[in-house]
Structure 1
Amino acid sequence: MLSTKPKAVGKTIYECVLVVMTAVYLFPFYIMVTQSLKSPQESMYNPLGLPQALQTDNFTKVWKLMRFGEAFSNSFWLTLVSVVGIALVSGICSFAIARRASKGYVILYYIFVCGLLIPFYMTLSPLIKLMKDLQLINSLMGLALAYIGRGIPFAVFLYVGFIRAIPKEIMESAVIDGCSPNRLYWSIVFPMVRNITSTLIILNALWVWNDFLFPLLTLQNVAQRTIPLAQYMFYGQYNTEWNLAFASYLLSILPLVLIYFFMQRQIIEGISTGGVKS
């Protein structure tokens, strides 16, 4: 009996810590939901309390002011093109680097790795200048190309490690059977690195979807605003409409929440197994 008491006490303490941590993580969501349903005056003078009257018309106002449908479409296509481009270009490039041990390919690999060492803000000004010279400013496709270029180094670094871990005998047998390099990659190698591919898709999708600075510097046209840019309109130098700002946050995360609920098994598998080589 005495030996079980410390275990029970330890389990109770552990559960209490988990409850406190859960409450800490959920508190920002509570603030977001309650603030989005308040009037401007109530959101200012009673930020932590429950709304006295539900202001559901905040969402209607936000939808119209943000032009939410247009902003969502821009964010969706920008994220889709960027993520698919990073996966395709990085995967094919990594396959060529991993298969060949020549000095040129080794140097190319280290050039990609050096891209991880350079801080993004150091390359920001030259990149904006380059995009301006190439007339890619105010272009969602130009922004997608910039994201692809920025995301390739990390993706190549991961892909090369995973492809090199694939037994050479598998690829050599496929080549002996007459498999072309193109078919070798898509039929054999690509399915074997699907775990790291799903991980990269998740990480890059969250990065592109939530990015604010890069679209702010490259998209001045209102019709091309992404969701983070559209949300910025609720902040001013002298006044901030917190109830509308939080309503916009809630609308913005709903697509990601729905995607997670429908694809949570694939997302969890991709993140949990992405760090384990096939």
Structure 2
Amino acid sequence: MSANPAVSSKKSKLGLYVLEVILLIVAIFYLYPFYYMLESSIKPAKDFYIPLKLPSQIFWGNYHLVFAKANVLEAFTNTILICLGTMLLLVAVSSMAGYKITRRSEKLFQIMFFIFLSGLIIPLQTNMVPIFKLGIVLHLINTRTFLILLYTGTTVPFATMLYAGFTKNIPLELEDAASIDGCGPTRMYWAIIFPLLLPATGTLVVTTVFWFWNDFVGPLLYLQDPHKMTLITQIFRFKSERSSDWGPIFALCSLCTLPLIVLFLFTQKYLLQGLTAGAIKG
């Protein structure tokens, strides 16, 4: 006997409601730390000893103290310049490398692909001393350029593999048609191929910029100048100076976190496109 359609429909709706409740609980679980951080950043000092109590008043003095004592604008500028420079260099180098490795069948390019992959299995922590000595020899220690080159070099293997996977889905007929119309290799790549790789670029930006932004070890080792500090190292320094002044510390953490949330909200569609681009072949 076949099941009653009405009963099956009720069961499916009940299952969806249960799933929505579970997802809501999980969302609250993940969002609560962010809510606690924002709430604590506007709490007066007297309210910190009662964790679940709402702020008796909105106290913006924590943010005023951060801007006055923590050099936030300077640290924010350094972080933006490092992330932006890294992403521009990473996208340019990795996209072209992934394209060439995919389009050329010679053994040399296949060997190059395996060389890129080998970079994924070498931990950065094992090379800290040689990298530091290299920075001294090149006179790049305490410069943002050195950190940009370091981030680019350590991320190129992953980015190249990502772009190579996307390039395989671009039909060769597009390049043949462009060649017939007199399009040169450089113009063909930047005008035809690269725009088709925007989902891969969006995926790369969203998945790697969080690491560049939140990295602590790199700026701590290679940017020892106080005027070259990033936001993460500034939080560490500010926490050391004001170990019990939690309001300004949470305010600084909020200022460091909010740009990433805004970036994710504006780029999440590209991340979804990138993750699903290879799932359907038409």
TM-score (norm 2): 0.88
Q: How far apart, in 1, do the equivalents of 2:52 and 2:137 lie?
A: 49
2:182 is aligned with 1:189: no
Match of 1:53 in 2: 57
- Letter aligned with residue 18 of structure 1: L
**TM-superposed deviation, 1:200:** 0.9
What residue is the counterpart of 1:153 in the other structure? 157
What is the SS of the residue equivalent to 2:240? coil
- SS of structure 1 residue aligned to 2:213: helix
- State the partner residue of 1:31: 36
Residue pairs, 1:129-148, within 5 angstroms: 129-148=133-152
Match for 2:271: what amino acid?
Answer: I
1:248 alignment partner in structure 2: 252
Alignment partner of 1:204 is 2:203 = no
Aligned AA for 2:57?
A: A
| Aligned-partner Cα distance in 1 for 2:18–2:155 | 43
* 1:63-103 CA distance string (max 9 Å, x none): 12211111111111111100010000111222222221111
The farther-off stretch of 103-112 and 91-100 is 91-100
Q: Who is 1:17 aligned against?
A: 22
Question: Is the CA contact (8 Å cut-off) linking 1:234 and 1:240 kept in structure 2?
Answer: no
Corresponding position: 1:119 with 2:123: yes
Correspondence for 2:3: none
Distance 1:49 1:11, change over 3 A: same
| Inter-partner Cα distance in structure 2 for 1:7 and 1:94 | 45
Maintained 8 Å contact 2:70/2:238: no
Deviation per residue, 1:118-147 (Å, 9 max, x gap): 122222332222222211110011111111
Q: 1:74 to 1:237 in 2, by over 3 A?
A: closer
Q: Which amino acid aligns with 2:44?
A: S
How far apart, in 1, do the equivalents of 2:103 and 2:15 lie?
52
| Alpha carbons 2:43, 2:55 under 8 Å: kept | yes
Report the equivalent of 1:235: 239
**Are 1:137 and 1:218, in contact at CA under 8 Å, matched by a contact in 2?**
yes
Code of the aligned partner of 1:27: Y
Shift of 1:168: 2.0
Alpha-carbon shift at residue 3 of structure 1 (Å)? 5.3
Unpaired stretches in structure 2, ≥5 consecutive residues: 1-5
Task: Map Cα deviations across residues 256-275 of structure 1 (whole Å, 9 max, x no partner).
Answer: 334445x2xxx232111213
The Cα offsets for residues 181-213 of structure 1, whole Å up to 9 and x where unpaired, read as 111111111111111011112222222112111
Native 8 Å contact 2:47 2:53 kept in 1: no
Change over 3 Å in CA distance of 1:172–1:106 after alignment to 2: same
Superposed CA offset, 1:94-120 (max 9, x none): 222222111111111110011112122
Q: Tell me the percent identity.
A: 34
The alpha-carbon deviation at position 53 of structure 1 amounts to: 3.3
Q: Matches of 2:229 and 2:171 in 1, distance apart?
A: 46
Distance 1:139 1:208 in 2: 15
**Higher mean displacement: 158-167 or 6-15:** 6-15
Partner SS, residue 94 of structure 2: helix
Structure 1 unpaired stretches of 5+ = none
Q: 1:225 to 1:7 in 2, by over 3 A?
A: same
Cα distance between partner residues in 2 of 1:156 and 1:210: 22
Number of residue pairs matched by the alignment: 273
In structure 2, C-alpha distance between the alignment counterparts of 1:130 and 1:51, rounded to whole Å? 50
Taking structure 1 as the reference length, what is the TM-score of the superposition? 0.89
Taking structure 1 as reference, are residues 164 and 80 closer, same or farther at Cα in structure 2, changes over 3 Å only? same
